[in-house]
Every structure is written in structure tokens, then in C-alpha cells.
Structure 1
Amino acid sequence: MTGHRLPLPTRDGVGPSCVGLPAGPWPTIAEFLVERFPAITRDAWMARIAAGEVIDEHRVPVTAERRYQAPLRVYYYRTLDAEVPIPFEEQVLFRDEQLLVVDKPPFLPVTPGGKYLQQSLLVRLKRKLQLDDLVPLHRIDRSTSGLVLFSVRPETRGAYQAMFPERRIAKHYEAVVPWRAGVSSVPDTYRSRLVDDAHFMRMKEVPGEPNSETRIVVQQTLGDRALLLLAPITGRKHQLRVHCMALGMPIENDPIYPTLLPENTDDFDKPLQLLAKSVAFKDPITGEPRSFASPRSLSLAPR
């Protein structure tokens, strides 16, 4: 929020979560929170309330007896009892007053969600760099490694965010895929219509006007594997992964395509072979050309 401070400060890299109180029959705010978030025990909520860690939008503490009042926004800290540590470190590649450019390891989500909180790139960076206003300008999948750009200052955030929907930023990825001897060609450009699949984790192709476009270059082949250079022109969810699968070349070690693997089956020795390798753009504030590249690279060397 530009020019607005949240009722609770960032704590250990985690900003406060917010829930709006709808119209309803709850006698107290505490009773609503217990019912609304069943994964958090009543005792845990009461402990947070007693510690002054549940605050309304006016910075008034929520007490155990405080009557229910809608509409009202309530802020609290999200916590997880235990997180599986991601055994890879991010690397800050560039930092100035406006931008932070980071190389993300595989398996680490960009933002908190589900079973990931401290083990997310945003919270790690906020905690280490003491940048409470840090916000990612775009996302890459948890499984994908490579470049992520962050906005440091709320005042200039909108100018950088606009580059993505307006396609004023060039992004290139590397991917390792299976290769069949005798393949005559891969299309220079692949387009299709992507929509949500029945499972929330997946996307699928359907007939109709294309809404996704990827440019493809085969950089190298070696035996039964190939290294592709992929340039997404659009930014649909899982676009590169679905396009490669549709061409009969699912990206190596993909836990979602073509087969969705069960949850909690991460194999840290087999990361997805998809790398957000480089970005280039004209800086919307200074007008200067900017380009960044990940120090990582994918290889067709024998496994």
C-alpha cells in the first residue's frame, strides 16, 4: 500500500495477514477467527490475542471478549509450526534504490503460501535485507530457478509493474527436454489457448483463439536430450511447461506435466530443468537500458 502503514509491522520478514469481517452471527471477533481458520487451534488464537498480535485496521487490539463488528479488517501474523527447509540459497545480483534482482533456486516459492512461509524468497529477502516494502514485480514457479525482479520503493512500483502486461520486458528461459533422433523441426513460434484445468495446479490447452505465445530455439542436442531457448511473448501460468509438453517435449523433472506427482514428493536431487535465464528492458524511471542474466546454466552433460 503506497503511503499507508499497516497496523502491524513486518516481523522476521513476514508482513501481517488481513481478514475482513463479514456480516454474521459470531458473538466475538475471537470466535469468528477460530471458526474461520480451523487449522489454527483456539489456544493458539487466544495466545496471539493475549500477546497483542491481533489488531484491527484502526490499530485497536482485539481482546478475547471484544464483540464482533462488521465490516472491519483484522490483522494478524501467519505462522507455521514446522517448515521443511529448502536447502538452496538465493543470490542477490543487483540492488539500487528502485530494484532488486535476485537469482532464485529451485523448490523455493517466490511468495508465502500454503506450507511455505519462512521458506519463501520474499520472506527470506525481507528478513536478510531489512526491506519491509519489498514486493515481487512478477512470479516464476516454485520449481523454476532463475531471475526474479523486486520493487524496493512503493513510489515507483507502478512504473515497473506496468512493463509486464504491456510486454516491455524481454525474458528468456532455458529448458532441457527429451529429444528424438530424426525430429525434423521444432516450430519457431508456438501458440495455443490455455485455460485452467480441473486440478487447480494445472493448465490445459483447448481449441479457440490463442492467448499464449512462445518463441523456441533449439540451442543444442546430445543423444536423447535437447537444450531449448524459450522466449515467452505472453505470460500465462505454466505456459512454457504446457507448450513443451504439447510439442512432445515435456521439461525434464517436471512434477506437474505430463503427470502430476503427489504433494510432498520433492526430490532435491532432481530439480525442474527450467531456468529464467535473462531479462532486458528500458528502465521506466531513468530511460536507460537494463539487462540481467542468471549465473546458473543448464547442461546436457551426462547425468
Structure 2
Amino acid sequence: MGRQAEANSYVPLPVRNGVAPSYLWLTETLAGGMLRFLAARFPDVTVDSWAARLQRGEVVDALGAPLGADSHVRKGMRIWYYRELDELETPIPFKEKILFQDEHLLVVDKPHFLPMIPTGRFLHETLLVRLKAQLELPHLTPIHRLDRETAGVVIFSHKLETRGSYQSMFQKRVVKKVYEALAGPIEGREFPFTYRSRMQDAAQFFVSEEVPGEPNSETLIEVIERRGDIVRYRLHPHTGRKHQLRLHLSSLGAPILNDAFYPVALPCKGDDFSAPLQLLARSISFDDPLSGEKRTFHSERTLDWPTGDSR
């Protein structure tokens, strides 16, 4: 699909039910009209759906003028539209909790299973769209990400003028992030210890793998408690590679409980919410780049021990 609205440029369509409009630059001039172009450009969307959107005036040019089915398709045009799903979304029965809000930041405790942003079959059932609809913050943007399967603390910016200052903290790696996970025991190690490896995208695009070479990922691993064959670990990632914590524990012979990707990617369970990944972003700490104040935010969620006991 097209890209979502750039917050610092003119946007001819408003945020609708928490969904920001998307845009697409046209790279060539084509005959046949706008409906034909859209149907060919987005084959997963039906022709009838595009026809209805055009008729409702929900596809516009850069100045906000509605486009019709027969409108010209010209190189250099930028068109705007709302992303929609042809099928109803399955409600995700877990709620986010707002931990903190000021004029710059919004800090949220994300539940398991809720995607951060619209992607694939998720649109309204995403954290960003839920928050925009609830709080009417049109410039809300996450400044880091959590996997859909991971719960815990995540930070959003909602003020354009200061967003870069907070984003730079993550780029400079001056943010301290602490996670917790439930997994089996790691044998042959003295705790705490640091695990390093070289990671890259695997052939299956949605997972990562370890390969020989100079390490580009690093995690400090501690034990909090052990109950039988299950251990609660405290994890300090010093780098932020995709699925780093999940892959590191799996490579150490202790995959996180209910991990459907590591060590083996299992068939998708669709809308089965019965077995959440036992990984939690417990806290985030940093020195505020504007005020210099020390800030720490903690998740109020818990991990689920197999016995039903949780802390």
C-alpha cells in the first residue's frame, strides 16, 4: 500500500476514526483512468471497493480535489486515500493502558497480540489507531517498536517540534530498556552473562537468524527466579536487532514460552489468543533530552507461569 501521511507536510484528508490517510506518488502517465490504475496497483483491493471510495470522494489529489474513476493518471501526481480492509477485523480482546502523558510524550503499556501500527490484516485493531481515535492526537507516532507478540512499555511522540530530540535517544542507544521473559533453564552458564552474536534476516522474511561473523547484537542475561523447569529472566538488550531477545534465548537452548517463531516458525494460529508469548518490556529509562530529568516507566503487566501463578 501507499505510505502514511508525513506529519510535517500538507495533508488534504483528516484523520478518520484514528486512521491517518495514506499517499502514493505516481511514477508514470497511464491511460485508462484512475479506477483502472488503482485496481491494477492494489490487486488485493476489489474494483468495487475502489469505485465506492472514488464515488464518496475519498481519493483526492495533493490539493484535496476529489478524483473520479476517469480522472487522468499523470506522472508526478500524489494521490491521497484511506486504507481500508475488505474483511472485518477480529477484535483483539486486550486493552492498552496509558502510563504517562505530557505535552511531548505518551507512554503506553501495550498488551500482547496488539500490533503497533497498521499492517497486513490489522488496521483499527492496532495500538496507534486505537490511541489516535481515543485521544485525538493527529501527530502521534511511535518512536520505537515492540513486536505484536510482545507486551509492555512503549513510547510515542505527539509533538512535531520535539520528536527528533526523543528519536535521537534511541539512535544513540542512550535509552535503557529492561525486559522479562519466561523460558527453560540455560545450562553451562554463570549468571549474569552477556551473549553476543551476528544476526541477519533469514530466508523467511519475518524471522532472523544467526550467522558467523563479527557480532552485531548483544544482550545481558540475568536470572530473577526459578520454579521447577521454568526460569524468569531479566534481559538487557544493548542493541536492538529484530527479534533479538527471542533469537538469543532460543540459540541458548531456552526459547521463550509460547514463541511461535523460534526455534522453528510454526503455522499461523490466526486469532488464537490463548498462548501469549512470555516476553514483557518491563521498563524504559532515559534522561529527558529537553529537561534533563531522569525518567523511568514501568509496565504493570505480568507474565503467566505455566502453573497459573503469575507475578
Offset of 1:8 from its aligned partner?
0.8
Q: CA–CA distance in 2 between the matches of 1:299 and 1:41?
A: 42
In structure 2, do the counterparts of structure 1 residues 209 and 225 end up closer, same or farther at CA, with 3 Å as the change threshold? same
CA contact (8 A) 1:227 1:300 kept: no
Runs of 4+ in 1 over 6 A off after TM superposition: none
Q: Does 1:280 align with 2:285?
A: yes
In structure 1, distance between residues paired with 2:128 and 2:230 = 34
Aligned partner of 1:153 in structure 2 is 159
For each residue in 1:44-79, what CA deviation from the matched residue of structure 2 results, as whole angstroms up to 9, or x when unmatched? 111101111001122222111111111211110111
Instruction: Choose the corresponding residue for 1:292, options 273, 281, 297.
Output: 297
Q: Structure 2 residue aligned with 1:25, among 30, 38, 56?
A: 30
Instruction: Name the aligned partner's letter for residue 30 of structure 2.
Output: P
Native 8 Å contact 1:56 1:62 kept in 2: yes
Other-structure match for 1:96: 102
Deviation, 1:3, is: 3.9
Distance 2:43 2:189 in 1: 56
1:64 aligned residue: 69
SS, match of residue 163 in structure 1: helix
Question: Could you say which residue in structure 2 is the equivalent of 1:114?
Answer: 120
Q: Distance in 1 between matches of 2:57 and 2:30?
A: 24
* Counterpart for residue 3 of structure 2: none
Q: TM-score, normalised by structure 1?
A: 0.96
| 1:34, distance to aligned residue in structure 2 (A) | 0.7
Using the TM superposition, name which of 237-246 and 16-25 deviates more: 16-25
SS of the counterpart of 2:130? helix
Structure 2 unmatched runs, 5+: 1-5
Secondary structure class of the residue paired with 1:63: coil
Residue 215 (structure 1) aligns with: 220
Q: 1:226 aligns with which of 231, 234, 257?
A: 231
SS of the residue corresponding to residue 179 of structure 1 reads coil
Deviation at 1:177, TM superposition (A): 0.4
Distance 1:36 1:90, change over 3 A: same
The CA deviation at 1:300 is 4.0
Equivalent residue, structure 1, for 2:182: 176
Letter in structure 2 aligned against 1:207:
P
TM-score (norm 2): 0.93
Once the two structures are superposed, the pairs formed by residues 255-266 of structure 1 within 5 Å of their partners are 255-266=260-271
> Partners in 1 of 2:239 and 2:256 — Cα distance?
19
Conserved? CA contact 1:251–1:274, under 8 Å: yes
List aligned pairs for 1:175-194, cutoff 5 A. Answer: 175-179=181-185, 183-185=188-190, 188-194=193-199
Q: Which whole-Å CA distance do the structure 2 matches of 1:159 and 1:22 have between them?
A: 34
Q: Identify the match of residue 77 of structure 1 among 56, 61, 82.
A: 82
Deviation at 1:267, TM superposition (A): 3.1
The structural deviation recorded for 1:263 is 2.4
Seen in structure 2, the aligned counterparts of structure 1 residues 276 and 93 have a Cα distance that, compared at 3 Å, is same
Corresponding position of 2:173: 167
Residue-by-residue CA offset, 1:56-110 (whole Å, 9 max, x unaligned): 1222221111111112111101111211110100000100100000000000000
Q: Over aligned residues, Cα RMSD in angstroms?
A: 1.5
Match of 2:150 among 116, 126, 144: 144
Question: How far apart in 2 are the matches of 1:60 and 1:266?
Answer: 39
- CA distance, structure 2, for counterparts of residue 28 and residue 257 of structure 1: 47
Q: Percent identity?
A: 49
Rounded to whole Å, the distance in 1 between the matches of 2:259 and 2:271 is 11
Report how far residue 264 of structure 1 moved.
Answer: 3.9
What displacement does 1:186 show? 5.1
